[in-house]
Structure 1
Amino acid sequence: MNLGINPFDRQFDSIESIVDTISEVLQCPATIEDVSHKLMAYSSHVADTDQARIATIIGRRVPEYVISALWQEGIIQQIMASTEAVRIPTIQALGLKSRIVIAIRNHQDVIGFIWVLDDHQLADDIAQLQLKRAAQAARIKILEMQNDRRKQEQQHYELCWSLLSGQEHSDMTIKEKAHQYGIQLPDSYQVIIVEFDAEISEKQYQQILYVVRTVEQIRVPLYVIHQNRLIMIAGTRSVRQTIAQYEEERSHFMDRLVQRFHAAIHVGCGSYYRQYTSTELSYHEALVVLQIKEAFPDEVDEIQNYRDLGFYRFLPAMVTEKEKTKVEHLSITLLRRYDLEHGSDLLTTLEVFLKYDSNVKKAAEALHVHTNTLTYRLKRIMEIGQMDLNKMDEKVTLYLELKLNKMK
């Protein structure tokens, strides 16, 4: 092989012609992927090629289990950090034979990858030189393709916000736009909001895009990143996938976000709808979940779906109504006043008693007091607050009033 001649120093009419040249020069099967591991082009291969390559070609992207495993082993991070080609040994558990891979860069940004199946143990110096040359040729072609993609992403962004803000009023028009933009909408969908503790940095933004674009088991046709939130319109991958299976995969996706960013996240999911004119409603419901989780972290921390909030989902509307009238519950007002004047904590005692469904023993344990002490306090609460804790309606009213006070 004459290394002085650069076989990639010419005009290529397509990304496919570049991958064919790589395969011809190195005498190995090759693939070119974008930064999200979607397959852009692949060369021919012999019959005994590995399962990971076959699955990539069939699915038009690297299987999610392969990506996740390579991330966990630190291999993807190594590839993205290196300007050199990286050799990956055989990983039998993934059906992955040994490979050489190089990141395609535009300045410091990784915009794609070239993978070569290293069947013949290429010499490192030859592989490094030719793959660097190939990466430069691929960079030019990918940048051309990215210009078209940016226009497409802007269309997706605008459609997503128009759905979330309720600007689209015809389901037929929405589906026509989606078809025009090359978006495959799921039959049933929900809005998911993933809230991070701090505003998303540019680096995190790119990492989140990577995770969203590589998710396989749920369909995320539209998404936006705004301040500290990732907002997605998501649904089942296929008609055969049940809601239970979808929610299990959604949970795995959230786990990957936590592992990838080493950060706490808060998740709110709206109800499922079939009409895309209801996107704004699902978005509002997801926001309610986050609002309730902020007000009641201990009670609803594990809940993600709006449907699972129970009576909590009615609290925002009740708060709005309460603020109109400015009427305070007399018993709560009397107890609060007494606590302030005497340095007591009767209101908290009442709240804990109601939380444990009027179970004196459990409430006393939670308050770290004797049951006799709690019984005495409850008697004083009923006297001072002018209430009857033997009446269910009165207890329910007090319970809700105390919850509403936490929503303010």
Structure 2
Amino acid sequence: MSPTPRTPKTLNDLIDSPEGLADRIAENLGCPVTIEDANHQIVSYSKHEERVDDARTATIMRRKVPESVVNGLWKHGIMARLFESGRPVIVPPIEEIGLGRRLAVSVRHKEETLGFIWAQTAELTITEEHLQTIEDASRIVSQHLLRQQAKKKKSEENQKEFFWQLLTGSLENTSDIKRLGKKYQMNLQGQLCVAVFEFTEDLSQSVERQAYYLSETLYQTRIVSRIFDNHQLILLVRTDPKEDAEHLSRAFLNDFTLKMKERLNFDDLKGAVGLVYHTPSFIHSSYKQALKVLELKDQFPKALAEVDHYQDLGIYQFINEIAELQRNEHYHNHALRKIKSYDADNRAALLETLSVFLAHNSNVHKAAEEMHIHTNTLNYRLKRIREIGGIDFKNANQKMMLFIDLLIDEKEKEDL
């Protein structure tokens, strides 16, 4: 027979002792209880229980819900229901993530989700009284989480100012950075880089909350600090010295982008990551590099569609600087001028052919496939290009210069 839930004795009994919150709610429900904040960090959990499931054990050990469990709850639509409403939700067992049956409710203040209460109810016959008890408990817990949130927000405001100083390079003294990092509880040890996610429109509060939530609940990397700036989310990402920072940052970027698209239908979300540095004094460099990746992806959407890391830009890293030097020196490529003139006089497409051929690293078959022409046709065009422009395709230096000049030519056409 299921225990009959009892109403908490007094409000202060729960509010004044946050560590005992879950114990008191568990006592009233008659089953194990866990209280989490909005990012699935444990606030309080009931003690001395038997027959708990794997998901609960892992959560208590880590002081945070495992990512696999969070992902499973999203895939089964549970988290969406909790974010949408403050009503209790009965969660059926989800074996693949080690989760037994739960009774869950979001802890809310107005429309904002502050956290969650989870009751393990495998041996409980849930009644209307249980539903009412956990709903009443959520209102009590919200008062505690509001207090906690107010303290956290004040700390985050100070952190943001410090983060902007790092991003803009206005603070470069290593000893000052270490002192302020310690003051604002920002771990700047290890490997650091900046990731920037760009949305197609300014961020609403609900989108900001979801983006913040995701950045807190993905586990491959550690988010040291974050800032929302108009339509961008800027993150400072840290990894330990012995970890593969590049691999982890790639995994984080892909996972974050994928989950934002899945959960909020952001199909046009773009992300970029700067280089990894071992000292916080170069954070501003990583930030500039991430912004440059986004800028170049806009300029060369086809060529850089799959490029998200500054490290992978190759010659595109310096394309704008080279273009500026060429303008200052009134430079022009004689071979390309001759080919352009031939195209104009004969309504030909030799310049396009050359561009595609070089973009495919001189692979005739791939270039012909992209242009939907026969390889014999392509070879004939390449012969004409060699003759008209005086081009030697065996000369790597000449080919590289042609490739760069074609990229700049493409960019300038887009700028018109």
Would you say same fold, with TM above 0.5? yes
CA distance in structure 1 between the partners assigned to 2:166 and 2:134 by the alignment: 44
Letter of the 1:242 partner, please give it: D
User: In the alignment, which residue of structure 2 is the partner of 1:129?
Assistant: 132
Task: Tell me, in whole angstroms, the C-alpha distance in 2 between the residues paired with 1:320 and 1:356.
Answer: 26
Change in CA separation of 1:390 and 1:36 when aligned onto 2, cut-off 3 Å: closer
Matched residue, 1:318: 322
| 1:246 aligned to which of 242, 245, 248 | 248
CA-to-partner distance for each residue in 1:171-193, whole Å, 9 max, x for gaps?
22222222211222340111112
Cα distance, 1:369–1:135 mapped onto 2, change above 3 Å: closer
Asked if structure 2 preserves the Cα contact closer than 8 Å seen for 1:18 and 1:137, the reply is no
The amino acid across from 1:50 in the alignment is: D
Is 1:308–2:312 an aligned residue pair?
A: yes
Q: 1:209 aligns with which of 208, 212, 216?
A: 212
- 1:134/1:321 CA distance change after superposition, 3 Å: same
Given that residues 23 and 29 in structure 1 are in contact (C-alpha distance below 8 angstroms), is that contact kept between their aligned partners in structure 2?
Answer: yes
For residues 40-51 of structure 1, the aligned pairs below 5 Å read: 40-51=43-54
Q: Which amino acid aligns with 2:42?
A: L
Within 5 A, what are the aligned runs for 1:96-245? 96-236=99-239, 238-239=240-241, 241-243=243-245
Q: Tell me which residue corresponds to 1:400.
A: 404
Paired AA for residue 312 in structure 1: Y
Matches of 1:85 and 1:278, distance apart in 2: 47
- State the distance in 2 between where 1:371 and 1:97 align: 61
Return the alpha-carbon distance in structure 1 between the equivalents of residues 251 and 395 of structure 2: 45
What percent identity do the matched residue pairs reach?
31
SS in 1 for 2:303: helix
Tell me if the contact between 1:6 and 1:133 (Cα under 8 Å) persists in the aligned partners.
Answer: no
Query: Against the structure 1 CA distance between its residues 9 and 348, is the aligned structure 2 distance closer, same or farther, given a 3 Å change threshold?
Result: same
Q: Look up the match of 1:89.
A: 92
2:261 corresponds to 1:258:
yes
In the TM superposition, residue 338 of structure 1 has moved relative to its aligned partner by 4.2
Residue 332 (structure 1) aligned with residue 355 (structure 2): no
Residue 329 of structure 2 corresponds to residue 354 of structure 1: no
For 2:224, the aligned partner's letter is P
Equivalent AA in structure 1 for residue 403 of structure 2: Y
Instruction: Give the superposition deviation at 1:92.
Output: 2.6
SS in 2 for 1:45: coil
Equivalent runs, 1:260-279 vs 2, <5 Å = 260-262=263-265, 263-279=267-283
**TM-aligned CA distance change 1:285 to 1:75, over 3 Å:** same
| SS of aligned partner of 1:298 | coil
1:103 deviates by 0.9
How far residue 271 of structure 1 moved from its aligned partner, in angstroms, is 1.1
Task: Give the aligned residue type for 1:282.
Answer: S
The equivalent position to 2:297 in structure 1, one of 293, 297, 304, is 293
1:79 aligned partner: 82
Normalised to the residue count of structure 1, the TM-score between the two structures is 0.90
In the aligned structure 1, how far is the partner of 2:368 from the partner of 2:78?
54
Task: Tell me: CA distance 1:345–1:145, structure 2 relative to 1, closer, same or farther (3 Å).
Answer: same
Higher mean C-alpha displacement, 338-347 vs 120-129: 338-347
For residues 11-38 of structure 1, give each alpha carbon's deviation from its aligned partner in whole angstroms, at most 9, with x where no partner exists. Answer: 6313223323212222222121111111
8 A contact 1:196–1:264 mirrored in 2: yes
Distance in 2, matches of 1:60 and 1:271, equals 31
* Larger deviation, residues 17-26 vs 109-118: 17-26
When residues 301 and 383 of structure 1 are mapped into structure 2, their CA distance, relative to the original with a 3 A threshold, is same
Query: For residue 53 of structure 1, what is the amino acid of its counterpart?
Result: R
Aligned equivalents of 1:123 and 1:166: distance in 2? Answer: 57
2:105–2:135 contact (8 Å) kept in structure 1: yes
1:68 equivalent in structure 2:
71
Q: Provide, for residues 206-242 of structure 1, a one-character-per-residue CA deviation record: whole Å limited to 9, x for no partner.
A: 1101101112221111122223322211122x45533
Residues 145-172 of structure 1 deviation map (CA, whole Å, 9 limit, x = unaligned): 2111111111222222211111111222
Larger displacement relative to structure 2 (382-391 or 209-218): 382-391
Q: Tell which deviates more after alignment, 364-373 or 143-152.
A: 364-373
- Whether contact under 8 Å (1:192, 1:267) holds in the other structure is yes
- The whole-number CA distance in structure 2 between the counterparts of 1:56 and 1:334 is 68
Partner Cα distance (2:102, 2:351) in 1: 67
User: CA contact under 8 A between 1:18 and 1:134: conserved in structure 2?
Assistant: no
Structure 2, gaps ≥5 residues long: none
Q: In 2, are the aligned partners of 1:79 and 1:102 still within 8 Å (CA)?
A: yes
* 5+ long unaligned stretches in structure 1: none
Query: 1:219–1:235: 8 Å Cα contact kept in structure 2?
Result: yes
Single out whichever of 24-33 and 195-204 deviates more from structure 2.
Answer: 195-204
Alpha-carbon distance change, 124 to 321 in structure 1, aligned in 2, over 3 angstroms: farther
Alpha carbons of structure 1 residues 8 and 94: separation in structure 2 relative to 1, 3 Å? farther
Letter in 2 for 1:344: A
Which residue in 2 is equivalent to 1:7?
9
Q: CA deviation at 1:264?
A: 3.5
For the structure 1 residues 134 and 336, does the alpha-carbon distance in structure 2 shift closer, same or farther, using more than 3 Å as the test? same
